[in-house]
Amino acid sequence: MIIKRVSPLSAAKIGGILGVTVGLLIGACVSLVMMAAGSMMTASLAPEDRPGSALAGMLFGAGSIVIFPVFYGVVSFVLGAIYAALYNVAAKWVGGLEIEAS
């Protein structure tokens, strides 16, 4: 079986979903690290030193669960469409991708 054409919209949707999933995992990791760092800053700083810096770290940590999936999803969607379109051009030159399905 030879794949001669890939729909760019179909590839973009799959790429977007995968990007959101990866972004959610990365965002959760960043969130844990930033919230832990923010709580450590609260414990180690005197009250008059850098007010609000610990809160900013904790808010960035909580916001990363939303920001990272959206960013990764949009970028993966766009790149999926571009890669599919480029694949279609390359498949015309070399004949497509040969796969074996059982």
**42-90: per-residue pLDDT in tens?**
555 555 555 666 666 677 777 888 899 999 999 999 999 999 999 999 9
Q: Which residues lie below 8 Å from residue 5, measured CB to CB, with a gap of 6+?
A: 88, 91, 96
End-to-end CA gap in the chain: 10
Predicted model pTM: 0.76
DSSP secondary structure code for residue 102 in this structure: -
Provide the percentage of residues in the chain whose pLDDT is more than 90: 53
